[in-house]
């Protein structure tokens, strides 16, 4: 319990800047709240006067108390009008806070490193954000417009009872409220562990479901539908147990609250009834006490629900705020300036890197790509070739050494300008679940239709697209699964052509193509690469024989370098790889 409270207050404090952005609206909403609450507290006092004026034992002649009745109706109307007006005024504050926080979390997730995104679970993260934004709305509305007003009403009613009647009325009222609040807080804190277990199990089950559906084809290939269903059901079983405990503990909490209220109401009615019998109180006083009891205990009963839901909302928001507090591994330096491109010379200088301290990937790698030249890196799988492109894009920072573009360390320039200067055709192309046109134009949303079509022609996909029934408006499906590997690769090539960056990276760019398509696209890539600084990462040596320089990597180190002819003459690593691949082709 003690550990959760600092976190709860920290979460609430995190919301204050968003709340205070519209402080005029907040103050106006609070003013409406005060007016509505004063009207609400005044209603039983007017009701007492109405009952007393109609009581034949108190007055000889009964006269219809029109003024009191009009006042009663006016106070009721005032309460309703200002309560609704309060909600209307505050709506913009709540919705804007949700919008601002949602976009902040979204931007922050994009600012986190590739390491975080490789380790995250998409389903769980999306569910945490969904629950967190929903919790904000509940927290802002009910904490400000239910808990605080109810506490203010308790103070006012207690004061009135103390002023007008025997102190026992105020004492019983306060004692009941204190017991009720203490029980509610203790029991709610106790049962929060079950809510957290439910949330964890829910996120885990959602992650499992989304992961399984994203890999639908793999599940089918291996006939593992039952296996996936069992794994999902295991998570749902954990959720079910936590949900049962959650509901059981809720019933216990409600029982305790009902018991405390019943005792308090009974004691107060006994006191009031005895005073009426003793003629120290009128029937109007009895009605007033009863009205105040109903007025207090109805919202107080709701207060228990609100407190529980606020605790639930705080638990839901906890994970979302954890995402915001996730440190950015790759940040722009305070002095970072936009990259000043002048030719596009790329230099790797004594680069050492490992994804973890125990897993060294690159060892003292040094090379240079002159402006407008093509350098190819070849080697076996796991040699560290693709890591070069990730470091050049600054998805990770090097452990030792440096990477320079036109003599500027990429850690000293802004990430936006760095990535704007580089275009990549990756080995594994993932497309948005949108149209082919959208996926190509994604490189430059401002591009004209003519520019998009020209890029598609250079990537040798225009004819294929125009032959489709819906042409460029054809939806590619989740992750582009409606297209073949080769078609996805050509969309990626068209996208990079449209970006038209100074530095190009082809990471196994033709790995998913057949021989005929590969030949055509290699010719297109050769044309595109002219006057561009180009890094080609390849496994098939036949795709890089035209490179100005070819580097051979083994176990994260460069073991050989030169052009195609020179490397064949050396008759070492490259020559052996060439001979082996020629035999495989034959």
| Side-chain-side CA neighbours of residue 42 (13 Å) | 17
Q: Residue 505 forms beta bridges with which residues?
A: 424, 535
**What is the overall mean pLDDT for the chain?**
80
pLDDT on residue 368:
92
Residue 30, pLDDT score: 83
Which one of 3.30.70.20, 3.10.450.40, 3.40.50.300, 3.10.50.30 gives the CATH number of domain 429-500? 3.40.50.300
What crossing angle do the helices spanning 23-54 and 4-20 adopt, rounded to 10°? 100
Instruction: Give the strand pairing for 359-369 and 408-409.
Output: unpaired
Q: Which residues have a Cβ under 8 Å from the Cβ of 366 and sit 6 or more positions away? A: 348, 349, 350, 351, 401, 558
What pLDDT shows up at residue 403?
92
Query: pLDDT grade, residue 149 (50/70/90)?
Result: confident
Comparing 8 with 223, the larger pLDDT belongs to: 223
Residue 289 has pLDDT above 90, yes or no: no
- Band the pLDDT of 1: cuts 50, 70, 90: very low
| Nearest in space to 425 (alpha carbons), one of 346, 557, 521 | 521
> With 70 as the cut, is the pLDDT of residue 8 above it?
no
For residue 447, give the DSSP letter: -
Q: Are 519 and 463 in contact (CB under 8 A)?
A: no
| d(C-alpha 567, C-alpha 513), whole Å | 26
Q: What pLDDT is attached to residue 10?
A: 67
| pLDDT score for 309 | 74
- Percent of the chain topping pLDDT 70: 85
CA distances 227 to 119, 232, 439, 441, Å, are 23, 9, 35, 40
pLDDT at position 125, please? 66
Contact 188, 308 (CB under 8 A): yes
**Least confidently predicted of 64-73, 418-427, 441-450, 520-529:** 520-529
* The domains spanning 4-324 and 429-500 adopt the same CATH topology: no
Using an 8 Å Cβ cutoff, are 498 and 447 in contact?
Answer: yes
Confidence of residue 60 (pLDDT cuts 50, 70, 90): very low
Q: Is 486 helix (H, G, I), strand (E, B) or coil?
A: helix
Of the listed ranges 47-56, 152-161, 515-524, the one predicted with least confidence: 515-524
Instruction: Give 213 or 59, the one with higher predicted confidence.
Output: 213
Mean of pLDDT values over 199-214: 81
Q: What pLDDT, in 10s, does the model give residues 219-265? A: 877 778 888 888 888 888 888 888 888 888 888 888 888 888 888 88
- When pLDDT is averaged across residues 68-72 and rounded to a whole number, the result is 82
What is the average per-residue pLDDT within 157-162? 78
Locate tokens 């006057």: which residue? 531
CATH annotation of 4-324: 1.20.1560.10
Q: How far is CA 214 from CA 200, 249, 356, in A?
A: 21, 37, 28
Q: Domain spanning 336-421+505-586: which superfamily? A: P-loop containing nucleotide triphosphate hydrolases (3.40.50.300)
Where in the chain are the domains?
4-324, 336-421+505-586, 429-500
């Amino acid at each position: 319990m003690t550990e959760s409270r600092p976190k709860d207050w920290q979460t609430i404090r995190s919301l204050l800047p968003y709340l205070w952005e519209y402080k005029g609206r907040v103050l106006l909403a609070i003013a409406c709240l005060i007016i509505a609450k004063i009207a609400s507290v005044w209603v039983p006092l007017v009701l007492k006067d109405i009952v007393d004026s109609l009581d034949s034992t108190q007055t000889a002649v009964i006269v219809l108390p029109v003024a009191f009745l009009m006042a009663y109706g006016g106070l009721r109307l005032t309460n309703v009008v200002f309560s609704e007006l309060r909600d209307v005024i505050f709506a913009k504050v709540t919705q804007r806070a949700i919008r601002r926080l949602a976009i902040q979390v979204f931007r922050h997730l994009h600012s986190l490193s590739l390491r975080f995104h490789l380790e995250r679970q998409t389903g769980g993260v999306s569910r945490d954000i969904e629950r967190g934004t929903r919790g904000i709305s509940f927290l802002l509305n009910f904490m400000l417009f239910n808990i605080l007003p109810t506490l203010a009403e308790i103070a006012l009613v207690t004061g009135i009872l103390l002023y007008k009647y025997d102190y026992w009325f105020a004492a019983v009222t306060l004692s009941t409220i204190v017991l009720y609040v203490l029980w509610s807080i203790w029991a709610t804190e106790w049962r929060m562990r079950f809510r957290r277990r439910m949330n964890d199990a829910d996120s885990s089950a959602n992650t499992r479901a989304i992961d399984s559906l994203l890999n639908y084809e793999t599940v089918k290939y291996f006939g593992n539908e039952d296996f996936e269903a069992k794994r999902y059901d295991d998570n749902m079983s954990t959720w079910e147990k936590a949900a049962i405990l959650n509901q059981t503990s809720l019933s216990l909490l409600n029982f305790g609250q009902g018991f405390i209220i019943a005792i308090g109401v009974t004691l107060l009615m006994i006191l009031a009834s005895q005073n009426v019998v003793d003629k120290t109180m009128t029937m109007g006083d009895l009605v007033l006490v009863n009205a105040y009891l109903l007025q207090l205990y109805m919202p107080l009963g709701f207060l228990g629900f609100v407190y529980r839901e606020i605790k639930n909302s705080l638990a839901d928001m906890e994970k979302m705020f954890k995402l915001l507090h996730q440190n950015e591994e790759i940040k722009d330096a305070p002095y970072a300036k936009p990259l000043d491109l002048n030719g596009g010379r790329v230099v790797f200088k004594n680069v050492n890197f490992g994804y973890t301290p125990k897993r060294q990937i690159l060892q003292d790698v040094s090379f240079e790509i002159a402006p407008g030249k093509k350098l190819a890196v070849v080697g076996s799988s796991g040699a560290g070739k693709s890591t070069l492109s990730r470091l050049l894009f600054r998805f990770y920072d090097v452990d030792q050494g440096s990477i320079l573009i036109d003599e500027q360390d990429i850690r000293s320039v802004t990430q936006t300008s760095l990535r704007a200067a580089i275009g990549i055709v990756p080995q594994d192309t993932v497309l948005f679940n949108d149209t082919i046109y959208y996926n190509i134009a994604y490189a430059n949303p401002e591009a004209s239709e003519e520019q998009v079509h020209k890029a598609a022609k250079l990537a040798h996909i225009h004819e294929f697209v125009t032959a489709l029934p819906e042409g460029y408006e054809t939806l590619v499906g989740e992750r582009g699964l409606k297209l073949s590997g080769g078609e996805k690769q050509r969309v990626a090539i068209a996208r990079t052509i449209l970006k038209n960056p100074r530095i190009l990276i082809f990471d196994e760019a033709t790995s998913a193509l057949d021989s005929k398509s590969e030949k055509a696209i290699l010719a297109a890539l050769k044309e595109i690469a002219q006057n561009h600084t180009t890094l080609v990462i390849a496994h098939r040596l036949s795709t890089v024989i035209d490179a100005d320089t070819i580097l051979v990597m083994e176990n994260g180190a460069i073991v050989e370098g030169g052009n195609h002819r020179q490397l064949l003459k050396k008759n070492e690593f490259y020559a052996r790889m060439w001979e082996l691949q020629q035999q495989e082709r034959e």
